[in-house]
Amino acid sequence: MSKYPIYLDYNSTTPCDQQVVDAMVPYFSQHFGNASSKAHAHGWYAEDAVSQAREQVASLIGADAKEIIFTSGATESINLAIQGLAQKHASRGKHIITVATEHKAVLDVCAHLQEQGYDITYLPVDAMGMIALDQLEGSIRKDTVLIAAMYANNETGVIHPVAAIGRLAQKYAIPFFCDATQAVGKIPVDVDTDCIDMMAFSAHKMYGPKGAGALFIRKKNPLLEIPPLFYGGAHERKLRSGTLNVPGIVGMGKAAALCQAMMASDAKHLQELRDMFWKEIGAIEGVQWNGQQDHSLTHVANICFNMQGGDKLIKTISKHVSVSSGAACSSATVEPSHVLKAMGLSDTKAHSSIRFSFGRFTTLREITIAIEEIKKAVSRLS
């Protein structure tokens, strides 16, 4: 029997894989050295561990280890990249292109830049959550200094045509920044194939620890020589001052290695779980799938139950099933999802939509129980 509540909110955060925890533990007490301490063995040991983790993270995304900057997470990476690029190219232009369905970490940075005099184009999406490449190209101007588009949406799982976006950016010599937080570790991501210049992601979305993340910055490109957000040392190529979180970085490296080794088997497992889940839940009257189902992450299902007070459904099943209405950072708000609204859903439908996201440790038994609890709750609330 599965232990309640069943966790189906993997897009919010993932549990640390036990192998990740085991890899981290020695660096809290046994190998506690500062990776910047160059004069003794304790520092050397920590530095070697960070170097190995950098190699592991780089390997996962097809990058060079020297292109990986460790941060506290994707939000910091996003701020470092977007604000840094905006500042770097302010004299050349102040036009930035992004997408209306981006994570709030990107949208809030763009809103901040608007207050500083930048002009932001927010590309719309269609009813399936997809952007139009011709509209993207038509939005490019002489003063465009950045294109920022996520890899896969955190609420719907919809995957953008990243490589095509990257090629467009290259065509016009515009830096392309990608928030790949939900994609890295789940699907193959290759920064060269995808023509990505800068990319943010977090450890805790791929079975690693919270408080660790990375920013990929393509080397040998003068367009990407950005200033740091804050100062205090020459850490991380002089871009991210502060003592390195060695245990967290080690954990991120181990998580990256595990994801690389288990990606195919994880994807197969998750596809089977989602197909089973949708076969049963999709049969409920009035239920609809939000987003482009055949071009989305295999572990995500954003479903509209088309009823008044969708929050009541979440509360009703919350004792048995942990889910969310959207992004964890904004789940406390009563506002309808900006992602679903951008896709054309009414406030009522957006409010009655729930994101289910499965993970490596989700079992068939848990899905069966979740389906039963959801069906009972829908019947009771209808």
Residues designated catalytic: 329
The single residue listed with the structure tokens 């996201």 is 357
**Number of CB atoms found within 10 A of residue 380's CB:** 10
Helix or strand or coil: residue 10?
A: coil
Helices (H), 124-161: 133-139
Starting at the edge strand that comes first in sequence, how are the strands of the sheet with 119-123 ordered? Answer: 68-71, 213-217, 198-202, 176-179, 144-148, 95-99, 119-123
- Cα distance between residue 70 and residue 123, in whole Å: 30
The single residue listed with the structure tokens 């009563």 is 334
Sequence letter at residue 272: E
Q: Would you state the structure tokens that stand for residue 74, as one six-digit string?
A: 């994707």
**Number of CB atoms found within 10 A of residue 311's CB:** 12
Helix or strand or coil: residue 217?
A: strand
The single residue listed with the structure tokens 């393509």 is 218
Sequence letter at residue 67: E
Q: Where are the beta strands (DSSP E) in the chain?
A: 6-7, 68-71, 95-99, 119-123, 144-148, 176-179, 198-202, 213-217, 288-289, 300-304, 321-322, 353-357
**Residues in contact with 173: Cβ distance below 8 Å, sequence separation at least 6, in sequence order:** 223
Tell me the β-bridge partners of 123. Answer: 99
φ, ψ for residue 153, nearest 5 deg: -70, 135
The single residue listed with the structure tokens 């533990």 is 25
- Cα distance between residue 235 and residue 242, in whole Å: 7
Cis, peptide link before residue 124, omega less than 30° from 0: no
